[in-house]
Amino acid sequence: MTHRFENHDLVTEHASQMIDVTDDVRQVVERSQVQNGMAVVYSPHTTCSILINEHEDGFKADFADLLERVAPAVGAYYRHDDLSVRTQGIEDETADFPNGHSHLRSGLLPSSQTIPIVDGRLTLGRWQRIFFCELDRSRKRKVLIQVIGE
Amino acid sequence: MTHRFENHDLVTEHASQMIDVTDDVRQVVERSQVQNGMAVVYSPHTTCSILINEHEDGFKADFADLLERVAPAVGAYYRHDDLSVRTQGIEDETADFPNGHSHLRSGLLPSSQTIPIVDGRLTLGRWQRIFFCELDRSRKRKVLIQVIGE
Amino acid sequence: MTHRFENHDLVTEHASQMIDVTDDVRQVVERSQVQNGMAVVYSPHTTCSILINEHEDGFKADFADLLERVAPAVGAYYRHDDLSVRTQGIEDETADFPNGHSHLRSGLLPSSQTIPIVDGRLTLGRWQRIFFCELDRSRKRKVLIQVIGE
């Protein structure tokens, strides 16, 4: 079994940004020299997600609107942001950057994607791209890319 | 490590159709002769999803209603379908078949499912079936089935 | 290739309960002695889900509220619960415990999570915990934990 693992740094710019990491994943597959196996693309964050969809700006904006309808960033009450009741996981910056909506959005969306590798290539369809999706604000992030196979 | 990969053709009939592909996956597991490992069931399309749930027609209709509430097919504005602003991924049939809602639905739902294989069998629970879910219109589709293990 | 599979019993107490199973998964990784590979955490139930998020009680309550908005437990009509039309999967207790909303919620949420293992450790981020999420009522449940690697 061959195993390759890479940890790529990202800096996101705004909420709901989708960063196309398809080429990052392809490069790890190539460096692994795995012919048949799978790639796991993983977010180690609780307010990010890994998505597979079309690289089209209209879709990205539509999806940001959908997330805002499902779990609004403003105008909704979240216990996660109510420091009069919250006792867990409080840090210096918690009060300044309420992100209860970000946790809800990430709860609905996948933390990882698994993609088969066949004959040395990801089996992505013609329109499929892999996105790292920021569900909080501009932050330093990591995307973990693992390839396993032979 | 043993690896088996099959590409099964499907023809979907209508939006929100769930096609039970459990037997397809079981057959690939059997042909692979893998005793312990995992199966990945993958959709290479940006407007389909792979789901695991109960094979019960009422649930399927309820789920179609839920998707219509979350991302309506009619009566909502999607930038993805607005050819006065869209510049990416336009094909001959794009104008005739607006599918912004399909992309949103697939953004919320998984592109794949990973199921353990133990003692030569998928660890599906009693009521669990694997579905290929059409989120656009009737189309020719593919479901990719990969088995890895020993 | 090393393979380890464990089946852990749980008893859930109420709808939307999130049971932290991170330590269960870590123990299976340790017992497997796998250094590089992956862990699959899998729910064999059609009305449960496996989530990765922060262990914070406010978030958990916010998420329960979100699920109630998306697929209400009371006051909504579900064909799955209408025994005047349903013909499939009916058991003695089906009439007493309508759970159409539970199936919808599980349709939107993942049945499993896949987490890379590198140098003998899960690559979970600082705030990430793995939860078994009950989407129906108090029930006996199982969480399947599989580790594959070398």
User: Is C132 near chain B, with CB under 8 Å?
Assistant: no
User: Is B85 near chain C, with CB under 8 Å?
Assistant: no
Residues in C touching A45 (Cβ below 8 Å): 125, 127-128
pLDDT classification of C63: cutoffs 50, 70, 90: very high
B42-82 pLDDT tens trace: 999 999 999 999 999 999 999 999 999 999 999 999 999 99
A48-68 pLDDT tens trace: 999 999 999 999 999 999 999
Mutation target vs C (from A43, A52, A79; most C CBs, 10 A cutoff): A79
Closest-CA distance, B9 to chain C, in angstroms, reads 24
Mutation target vs B (from A50, A66, A104; most B CBs, 10 A cutoff): A66
Predicted local confidence at residue A92, as pLDDT: 84
pLDDT classification of B111: cutoffs 50, 70, 90: very high
Would you call C44 and B149 a contact, using CB atoms and an 8 Å cutoff?
no
Predicted local confidence at residue C123, as pLDDT: 98
Count other Cβ atoms within 10 Å, centred on residue C150.
15
pLDDT classification of C43: cutoffs 50, 70, 90: very high
User: Taking CB atoms and an 8 Å cut-off, how many pairs form between chains A and C?
Assistant: 104
B22 has pLDDT over 90: yes
Rounded Cα gap, residues A70 and A79, in angstroms: 16
Range with the poorest average pLDDT among C2-16, C35-49, C87-101, C126-140: C87-101
Neighbouring chains to B with at least 3 Cβ pairs closer than 8 Å: A, C
Residues in A touching B46 (Cβ below 8 Å): 52-54, 125, 127-128
> Are the C-beta atoms of residues A30 and A119 closer than 8 Å to each other?
no
pLDDT classification of C93: cutoffs 50, 70, 90: confident
Mean pLDDT of C41-58: 98
Mean pLDDT of B4-11: 98
DSSP C65: H
Count other Cβ atoms within 10 Å, centred on residue A88.
11
> Are the C-beta atoms of residues A134 and A16 closer than 8 Å to each other?
yes
Closest-CA distance, B127 to chain A, in angstroms, reads 23
Range with the poorest average pLDDT among B14-28, C62-76, C84-98: C84-98
> Are the C-beta atoms of residues A15 and A134 closer than 8 Å to each other?
yes
C95 has pLDDT over 90: no
